Amino acid sequence: MSHIIVLGGGPAGYVAASHAAAHGARVTLVDPKPLGGTCLNQGCVPTKVLVESCGLLEKIKRAESFGLQFSGSVAGDWAAINRRSASIIEMLGQGIERLMEDREVTLLRGYGEFVDAHCVRVNDQVLRADHILICTGSTPQADPQFNIDGATIGTSDDLLAWENLPRSMLIVGSGIIACEFAFVLDSLGVDVTVLASGPRLMSHADKDISSVLQREMRKRGIKVQLNCRIQSLTHTSEGVSAYADDKIVGAAERALVAVGRCANTAGIGLEAAGIRTNEWREICVDDVLRTNVPHIYAAGDVNGRSGLAHAASAQAKLAIDHMLRREFSLLDDGAIPVAVFTNPEIGWVGRTEHGAVGDGLSVEIGKFDLRGLGRAHALDEISGMAKVVVDKHSGELIGLHVIGPHASEIVHEGALVIQRNGKANELFRTVHAHPTISEGILEAVEDAIGQATHKPMNRQRSANALQLI
């Protein structure tokens, strides 16, 4: 029986432990903190609790638009929302622990550190294993110029632990974490200013999606400053000031620094095991998540391939399958969907238009404005769009991008097609239920292949794109 040591109990680590034990391995899971990692305890889950509370709050405020009479005031209660979040985290964490017990996984509370390539020290024990999987995750990037103290200037971890919210907030960053918190804080009455270093928000998203997101932020009164590279954050008597180009570009009671995350590779003895890292101290791995030391693997944020919890879990399963010499399929990072819980939501998978064109691909683009959908009007959420990127020569769907209600859920039909190198006509020939938001994807595909139903037809595109059907 193979003995596998797993370092870290987040969405990579605990999934790896469960998967390995289910297939006959003896597993030791090492983590000093509650199981579930950042995702469960300071990331995905608590932030989504915030998002849902804020979404309901906003819907109640719009009750009259649904034909409902609502008397009395309604407001967000930060402490009560956090109590609900803590309850959900505790319940899910206990579920993971029961799963480990059921799988007979040995759980050691402590930090694991390599003694050599085969042995790991945990507290006062030295353990030897046939294979070792590193799943130590990541932490928020905390560059010294930001003067993070956790109280006035903090990371996302700090913000979730705050007992109250300020009247105003600077958010340094423009990625997923920054944008999600911008909407949450705005819903709870905080005056928000987003300071983005680049020319647009969400630089990894399709440019059209970024444009809609920025428009929606500004419609709500969230201030957005682009091309604003912050030199420093400074504590003042009134809170925080942000400096760029030697001048103040923003001031607020507090600041959230959301400029990325760093792999947790310090202090785990990588040098003792001879494990290579890149310039960002992320562990270098091959297609099966194996490091340069053949029996040691790394999955999740620690290898830098993806910062997504679901990608971490998928990587963990692949690594375990390879260790145990089970049948496996390599992961296509380009077919892993991304979900962003802004308001409106964003979901995308595959190539962006500018990325595909930049790589020399010839593409057809299809778009559909979600305000053309009956379901969007019923939800009173008409802002958004669906967009598809289709390879003009092969007809393959290579990108799907949605911003609008339920985008995080409906993006998966695109992921299913893209991961099997499927063609756009698979979606074209799939009947979509009415009235749904998913119809927007069908409409975008129809537009790409010149068969638009509910928008003016581009006859030139129709003539060129018939071959894609």
- The pLDDT, as a whole number, for residue 397 is 98
* Nearest-5° Cα angle at 134, 335 to 266: 115
In angstroms, rounded to a whole number, what is the distance separating the alpha carbons of residues 300 and 137?
6
Segments of the chain scoring below 70 in pLDDT: 457-469
- The pLDDT, as a whole number, for residue 70 is 82
Beta bridge partners of 119: 128
In angstroms, rounded to a whole number, what is the distance separating the alpha carbons of residues 364 and 50?
38
Helix 78-102 × helix 13-22 angle, to 10°: 30
Q: Which residues, 6 or more positions from 212, have their beta carbon under 8 angstroms from its beta carbon?
A: 344, 383, 384, 385, 403
User: Do 335-468 and 144-259 have the same topology in CATH?
Assistant: no
Phi, psi of 192 (to 5 degrees): -110, 135
Contact 268, 114 (CB under 8 A): yes
- The pLDDT, as a whole number, for residue 72 is 80
- The pLDDT, as a whole number, for residue 199 is 97
- The pLDDT, as a whole number, for residue 301 is 98
Q: Which residues, 6 or more positions from 381, have their beta carbon under 8 angstroms from its beta carbon?
A: 344, 404, 405
| Rounded (10°) CA dihedral 440, 446, 450, 453 | -70
Report the candidate in 140, 162, 143 with the shortest Cα–Cα distance to residue 152: 162
Total Cβ atoms within 10 A of residue 65 = 9
Beta bridge partners of 386: 368, 402
Token duo for residue 140? 């928020």
- The pLDDT, as a whole number, for residue 271 is 98
CA distances to 7, 174, 216, 336 from 204, rounded to whole Å, are: 30, 10, 18, 14
Conformational region of residue 325, where left means phi above 0, alpha means psi within -120 to 50, and beta covers everything else: left
Q: Where are the domains of the chain?
A: 3-140+262-331, 144-259, 335-468
Phi, psi of 316 (to 5 degrees): -60, -45
Question: Out of 3.10.580.10, 3.50.50.60, 3.60.20.10, 3.40.190.10, which CATH number does the structure's domain 144-259 have?
Answer: 3.50.50.60
Kindly list the catalytic residues.
Answer: 434
Report the candidate in 381, 377, 386 with the shortest Cα–Cα distance to residue 411: 386
- Taking the model in full, what pTM does it have? 0.95
335-468 architecture in CATH? Answer: 2-Layer Sandwich (3.30)
3-140+262-331 architecture in CATH? Answer: 3-Layer(bba) Sandwich (3.50)
- The pLDDT, as a whole number, for residue 452 is 85
CA distances to 16, 172, 321 from 105, rounded to whole Å, are: 11, 41, 17
